[in-house]
Amino acid sequence: MSERFEMVFLGTGSPLPNPDRCGAGTVVVAGDTHVLVDCGWGAARRILPSGIRPSVINTALFTHMHTDHMTDFPDFLFLRWTAGAQTPLRVFGPEGTAEMVEGFLLALRRDIGFRMAHHGDKLHPDGIRVEVTEIPATPEPHAFLDITGLRCESFEVDHAPVVPAFGYRFSFDGRVAVLSGDTSLCDSLAAAARGADMLVCEALNVPMTEQRIAALKAAGMVRESALLADVPSYHIATDQVAALAREAGVGEVVLTHMIPPVANDPEQAAAFRAGMIDVYPGPIRVARDIERLPVVKRAS
Ligand SMILES: [Zn+2]
Ligand SMILES: [Zn+2]
């Protein structure tokens, strides 16, 4: 029997407000290992409803230093600590990760002292510590961690001007899942996705985004409209995801980080992925927050 290998979606949204979708956050579950990837707004609050105890997450990875991937990290640290963590959290990410962690810990410094003064030895001092390793940016998958059979590789994607930005490739028990991070169409993502059983990919629907840009402009929201018009340049369009997945022989596509935001509604999800099915023959899902999807052996 194959071991448990799942993607648990904490947040499937973007910086654009959406009541159904928090900022980016995914927990990779491989056997008893839990690895958090990104922790955007609201993602930490999705951990318990997802059936995961925060204290079992001992490793966190970051894809890049955009707010929608990191601002719930302080909340996660406290949830993990007060849930009983007794060891430091290991954090891996691109250049900038150490500075981000240091900044959050500085902001938390007084409260860490208050909690320890109030709760004494019920809180382990190591449970709020963080050990950061910054990973070099390489276009080819770079193995940086192996946790009881879960092999973690990073690869640089194209999210310029956000440099460096990473995607991650996870191999476990004969299966492979790739998380794109935020990226435009790029060769490194196509290479990393080759033969993956599951590709969890960010996606932007071009007609829906254009409609929204026009609607904002028509409503006199000129600045908002102009800002949204900048967004497509560093994201991957749904038709590009479909073509990449077909070329790379990916077993299953799971869309996340949807732009523009889509509600948890089958009609909107269908509209968002419209046209992809004509290009890519495999299953295509639009992920939801607090959804748990098994990585199934599919790619040949
Ligand atoms: Zn993002
Ligand atoms: Zn981003």
DSSP 128-164: G-EEEEEPPP-SS-EEEEEETTEEEEEEEEEETTEEE
The domains located in the chain, with CATH, are 5-294 (3.60.15.10)
CA distance 155 to 139: 5
Tell me the residue length of the chain: 300
Q: What is the DSSP letter of 237?
A: B
Confidence (pLDDT) at 17: 87
Proximal ligand: closest to the CA of 64: 2
How far, in Å, is the centroid of ligand 1 from the Cα of 139?
Answer: 20
Point out the residues that are catalytic: 68
Exposed e or buried b per residue across 231-256, where buried means at least 16 C-beta atoms within 10 angstroms of its C-beta: bbebbbbbbbbbbbbeebebbbbbbb
What average pLDDT score do residues 16-28 get? Answer: 95
Distance 117 CA to ligand 2 centre (A): 38
For residue 126, report the distance from its CA to the centre of ligand 1, in Å: 30
Nearest-ligand number for the alpha carbon of 14: 1
Whether the pTM exceeds 0.75: the reply is yes
Distances (CA, A) of 86 to 77, 78, 115, 129: 12, 12, 15, 9
Residue 300: pLDDT band with limits 50, 70, 90: low
Q: Kind of pairing, strands 142-147 and 150-159?
A: antiparallel
Interval 201-226: pLDDT, tens: 999 999 999 999 999 999 999 999 99
